[in-house]
A = this chain, B = another copy of it.
Amino acid sequence: MSVTELFEVTDKVDQTDLQLGADGRLRHLLTMHGLDRRQITALLDEAELYLSDIGQPVIRTDALRGRTVANLFFEPSTRTRASFDLAARRLGADVLNLDVNTSSRKKGESILDTIYTLQAMQVDVFVVRDAQAGVPAYIARHANDHVSILNAGESDVAHPTQALLDLLTIRLHKGDFENTTVAIVGDIAHSRVARSTSEALVTMGIKELRLISPKSLAPEDGTVPLQARVLHNLNEGVRGADVVMALRIQRERIGNIDGVPGIDEYFANYGVSHERMKLAAPGAIVMHPGPMNRGIEIESSLADGPNSVIPEQVKNGVAVRMAVLSTVMKSRATT
């Protein structure tokens, strides 16, 4: 039975069972699916404790002193890896950064043997990013009982810590979710951010969630919550929204999208701009998961302007990752 075959069998219900221990506590973070409002709120509440003003020394604890966190990035990423790295170190953990492409995979060592080896070295948490769907759950299913797996971006399927940082950012600016309308704009079909954030927003009781994309980049059935309104007109999507989130589009896709032959046309139709934001609610905020294609999915000066909360998203990202690390470690202490 090959590793590839095993990756296929994962479904959302399995993952929910897998990530919550028998006591219902968070043992792994694989997906936003199956986390309830109370659990998400507890993570956001803890994350807030780790926020300090830019320029001030960061909040540090010894919650993970004597613990080891391994960043296993099978897909390159500066920002997410740095965010997890800093989160773990600010909790006192030792951090191993392993770029697996350039080392043991060369020797034909399988993913699982890498995990078995590292858990034998008493690594406690694996932060996993992979371009292939199913890898984090596959690892969680096979790792030993004392190990936690955190999904740091999985194909176009899930990116749960991104969802948490988006939620924290929205909560800090809008206070609650029940009175907030969120518009997510761009390549919804291929976006793990859109999927995880949509799922979490619906769980939190968001007033209205709109997913706006060209028709050829609309989500397939079952990949986003039923409560979401799928739209193809950006004006309609932005009108009255409290939060407008632009998604990164891969440049290679532009030109291959039906009805969007070039960058200029993509920006004209689906770019989040000052002009477009006039349609949004007063005080609406602009978000982007980064890295941005300035001038394509978002107007550059808007990203740097007063309504942009993009740098706050990054800052909140470290805080939510600290909260997740601390939470999964606490769940272990009781097992």
Contacts and interface: CB of A to CB of B under 8 A. Distances in A.
A82 B114 CA distance: 11
A104 B293 CA distance: 12
Interface string A111-151: 00110111111101000000000000000000011100000
B82 A98 contact: yes
Interface string A89-115: 110001010101011101111100110
Contacts of A58: 66, 68, 122
A104 B79 contact: yes
Interface string A312-335: 111101100000000000001000
Given A54-B120, A119-B54, A86 B68 contact: yes
A76 B98 CA distance: 12
A314 B121 contact: yes
Interface in A289-305: 290-294
B82 A118 contact: yes
A224 to B, nearest CB: 24
A107 B314 contact: no
A83 interface: yes
Contact of A315 (B55, B121, B293): B121
A58 B58 CA distance: 26
A77 interface: yes
A26 to B, nearest CB: 17
- Counting chain B CB atoms within 10 Å of each CB, the highest count among A70, A107, A313, A315 belongs to A107
Contacts of A146: 54-55
Contact of A332 (B55, B98, B103, B109): B55
A9 B92 CA distance: 43
B78 A291 contact: no
A265 B96 CA distance: 39
A88 B119 CA distance: 17
Contacts of A104: 77-79, 291
Interface string A157-176: 00000000000000000000
10 pairs of A and B residues whose beta carbons are closest in the complex: A55-B146, A57-B66, A120-B314, A109-B291, A78-B104, A120-B311, A78-B103, A120-B315, A76-B103, A58-B122
Given A54-B144, A79-B117, A82-B98, 9 more contacts: A54-B120, A55-B332, A57-B66, A76-B103, A83-B121, A89-B94, A109-B290, A116-B311, A116-B314
28 contacts: A52-B122, A54-B119, A54-B120, A54-B144, A55-B145, A55-B146, A58-B122, A60-B66, A77-B104, A78-B109, A82-B121, A85-B96, A86-B121, A86-B122, A107-B291, A109-B290, A109-B291, A113-B290, A113-B291, A113-B292, A116-B310, A117-B290, A117-B291, A119-B311, A120-B314, A120-B315, A121-B315, A122-B315
